[in-house]
Amino acid sequence: MKILVINCGSSSLKFQLIDSDSEQVICKGLCERIGIDGSRIVYTPAEKDKITIETPMPDHNKAIELVIEALTNKENGVVSLDEIGAVGHRIVHGGEKFTESVVINDEVIKAIEDVSDLAPLHNPANLIGIKACQKAMPGVPMVAVFDTAFHQTMPENAYLYGLHYSYYEKYGIRRYGFHGTSHSYVSKRAAEILGKDIKDLKLIVCHLGNGASISAVKDGKCIDTSMGLTPLEGLIMGTRTGDIDPSVVEFIMKKENLSVAEVTNVLNKKSGVFGLSNELSSDFRDLEDGYLAGNEGAKRAVDTFAYRVVKYIGAYTAAMGGVDAICFTAGVGENSGFTRKKIIDGLGFIGASLNEEANAVRGKEEIISNPDSKVTLMVVPTNEELAIARDTYALCK
């Protein structure tokens, strides 16, 4: 079966076509600037050069049309339309209703709409992608794969805030966590690499990129994760603050004469390593270069980021009563030996010992700890699209 994986944003649409038998990517691409001047589709059929087509994309319906045209055209196409057996959609927020992936029907769409106020920038765009695909491919089964689902195994004492309980009862205000598809894939893959049953392992997964989160996975289940009601909580990120005293919002509002929305924008888009580096960059590659060149802002940003990661690893080691392996994944986690070392240098208290030569790895699976390390250190590249395709196939085969 050929599975089309769709990841729909407010003005973008990522896609991959995956063969469920071989799990090979047949084609992948991106529609950019949907509804904005200068829109284009960029895609790469397997074993062919990248193709870029600049064309108007007034809405997601047109973007889906262009994706199907790219996949099926006579010149560079890779399938016929009737070969696409199912579509898997990444959905950011499933609230408490969805603990696993589900086949999409009217009830599921309504439930996604009902929790859109918990992810106002993402769920509406995800829904647009679903409806556009339904219009373009009537009768093709579709599956919703939720970023929050993997974390629904967290116990109450991990997901509740110290707010009056009525706010949870009335509005569902609690910690949900995100990047769940990645955390699920990486933890399972780590167990395979180690040759052990995931139910016998205590794992910490560090999904480190422009968006970053950490999860504690015990006996194959997530028992805690760093993101909360929204992806703003937790680690310092590219432009997000991570954990912060809530009173800072009121304080900045008064000092700068800003609205709640304006301060929230600062917390989400002008903070993190970008803000800490005095706006040098939100890209860790630039920060690494700056650090090595002696830039004080870059050093401040990287050191503070690494310290926050170490704190969470320590907390989750305590929460699980130990840790067998720590997995690094996503853009920074997979590719920056420099940042990994900064973090691991702070993990001597759990007996972590880094193999400097192995740590030079970029973007591929590798055990980067020394044989005498008391905890296994691993690089495990994430593959959220493959995870979505696997769930979609399992539900639709």
Global pTM? 0.92
Task: Give the CATH superfamily of 197-379.
Answer: ATPase, nucleotide binding domain (3.30.420.40)
Label residue 74 by pLDDT band (50, 70, 90): confident
Residue 167's pLDDT is 97
Q: At what angle do helices 123-136 and 106-114 cross, to 10 degrees?
A: 160
| Mean of pLDDT over the chain | 95
Whether 377 contacts 352, CB under 8 Å: yes
Which residues are known catalytic residues?
Answer: 147
d(CA 61, CA 63): 5
Residue 122's pLDDT is 83
pLDDT at 154 over 90: yes
Residue 125's pLDDT is 87
CA distances from 377 to 153, 176, 227, 309, 382 (A): 25, 27, 22, 14, 15
Q: Of the given ranges (66-80, 168-182, 241-255), which has the lowest mean pLDDT?
A: 66-80
Q: How large is the average pLDDT for residues 191-201? A: 97
pLDDT at 121 over 80: no
d(CA 122, CA 172): 18
Q: Of the given ranges (71-75, 212-216, 233-237, 344-348), which has the lowest mean pLDDT?
A: 71-75
d(CA 177, CA 151): 6
Q: What are the residue boundaries of the structural domains of the chain, listed by start? A: 2-146, 197-379
**Cβ atoms within 10 Å, residue 262:** 12
Higher pLDDT, 346 or 77: 346
CATH level 2 (architecture), domain 2-146: 2-Layer Sandwich (3.30)
Same fold, 2-146 and 197-379: yes
Q: Which contacts qualify for 157-160: CB closer than 8 Å, 24 or more apart?
A: 158/223, 158/224, 158/319
Residue 18's pLDDT is 97
Q: What is the pLDDT of residues 263-313, one digit of tens each?
A: 999 999 999 999 999 999 999 999 999 999 999 999 999 999 999 999 999
